[in-house]
Amino acid sequence: MSSKAAKKVNTEPSFSVESSFGLWYTDWDSIYHDTDARRGDHMSDGKNYYSIGKVSTLCNVPIKTLRYYDKIGLLVPEYRKCDSNYRYYTQDQILTLFIIRKLKHLGIPLKDISQIVCKKNASAMGACIRERLYEISNAIDSLNNQYAEGQLLLERLEKGHN
């Protein structure tokens, strides 16, 4: 990751995850180096804002999903045009969206993700991830046991036919 991009991304992160969860910065860095991705709309406060369509494309998240996240308060756009009601997101919110996507991919319910995002606490996120990994591990063990039982049953069945 270039130092310029890292400085730009790390100036106001949504989470204090530089050391623990640097993976998300890597994801953002790959998008950030795309020239079209860096062209956000500049508003009067000097921040870069990205339209809902741009965020949808950059993050591979349907616009319908972004609207739903706004509706439930999970990811509310920082800026909304009064006349058109267009939604605009900041770079920090795009990083938060990456985190939401990663947690969702782990199978963590949106209710839990919402609490994590609201707290903006890396240790709480880590605890939630550890708990989910434990659940996944138990599910894998259970499936392995089922598989072994199924193989044993199949072997017995095939020996019985012969």
Query: Per residue in 106-161, pLDDT tens?
Result: 999 999 999 888 888 888 899 999 999 999 999 999 999 999 999 999 999 998 87
Q: Per-residue pLDDT averaged across 19-24, rounded?
A: 44
Is residue 89 within 8 Å of residue 55, measured between CB atoms?
yes
pTM comes to 0.67
pLDDT band at 7 (very low <50, low <70, confident <90, very high): very low
123 vs 80: CA distance, rounded Å: 32
| Residue 109, phi then psi, degrees to nearest 5 | -65, 150
pLDDT score at 143: 97
- pLDDT value of position 80: 86
Comparison of pLDDT for 114 and 3, the residue scoring more: 114
pLDDT one-digit tens code per residue, 88-108 = 999 999 999 999 999 999 999
CA 101, CA 99: separation in Å to the nearest integer?
A: 5
| Res 36 pLDDT > 90 | no
Q: For residues 48 and 29, give the distance between their C-alpha atoms in angstroms, rounded to a whole number.
A: 16
> Which candidate, 101, 22, 26, 24, places its Cα nearest to that of 56?
101
Distance in Å from the first CA to the final CA of the chain: 62
Q: Which two tokens stand for residue 113?
A: 């993700």
Q: How far apart are CA 26 and CA 4, in angstroms?
A: 13
Q: Output the pLDDT for position 84.
A: 83
CA distance 105 to 87: 25
